[in-house]
Amino acid sequence: MQILPGIVIVGKALWIKKLKILVVADLHIGYEEALAEEGYLLPRTMFKEMSKELKELLEKLKPNLVVINGDLKHEFGQISKQEWFETNTILDMILERSKVVLIKGNHDTILEPIARRKNLEIKDFYIVDGICILHGHKIFIDKEIYDKKIKILIIGHEHPAISIREGLRKETYKCFLLGRWKDKKLIVMPSFFTLYEGSDIKKEELLSPYLNEKSIKNFEVFVVADKIYRFGKVKDIR
């Protein structure tokens, strides 16, 4: 489904069709290990499922470029052996098929050693063809982003999800959001990792400074389920 002309939702990712750019956000590699250290005993399936889903997208779409839009890894502190292995595995899988751009997220405090090993540059944002891709955890003062030539912003960070009620049953789904920030269209991406759906945008405090309780009511919701469903505006969803 097109969220904007030429920008297609594919699973939990975005496909910029003309440029053959695949955008994924918030992989949070190492999240399972962090939970295990806190005493949560969960089956270690997230990395395997995420790798499989990403590989399928790469083989189907054959992108020229993959933009990882922040929070490639989860832990703020030192890089564990498991994180080294899993981040290298993911990056090698992508680099075998495509170029990679790493956008710095708020969790990417020590991403540099991994990037250096793969000879990758870490960017605060990536601008191409009137689109600016940035993580969304802070407002940059760089004049490039405010240029009138930039018509679309794509952010992650928020991990948007929405709860939908059907009778007595209520389900929470990952979702994309489409709205505006100042004079630009704003797309908010869901997290790519599978362990939880995300933050319910109707109930939980918003994380990104690009969003606020007033403006988000007019954002359109695109639910990620067995296919992509356009659900209308946030304010109309009960």
Range of the domain at 183: 2-236
Residue 132: predicted pLDDT: 96
- For 34, residues 6+ apart whose C-beta sits below 8 A from its C-beta are 74, 75
49-88 tens-digit pLDDT: 999 999 999 999 999 999 999 999 866 566 677 788 899 9
202-222 tens-digit pLDDT: 989 999 999 999 999 999 999
Contact 221/180 with Cβ under 8 angstroms?
Answer: no
Helix then strand then coil, in percent of the chain rounded to 5, is: 25, 35, 45
Structurally, how many domains does the chain consist of?
Answer: 1
Nearest to 25 by CA among 90, 61, 57, 72: 72
Give the pLDDT mean for 192-207: 88
Residue 44: predicted pLDDT: 67
- For 10, residues 6+ apart whose C-beta sits below 8 A from its C-beta are 22, 57, 61
The CATH number given to whatever domain includes residue 163 is: 3.60.21
113-137 tens-digit pLDDT: 889 999 999 999 999 999 999 999 9
Residue 96: phi and psi, rounded to 5, are -65, -20
pTM of the model: 0.93
138-161 tens-digit pLDDT: 998 877 888 889 999 999 999 999
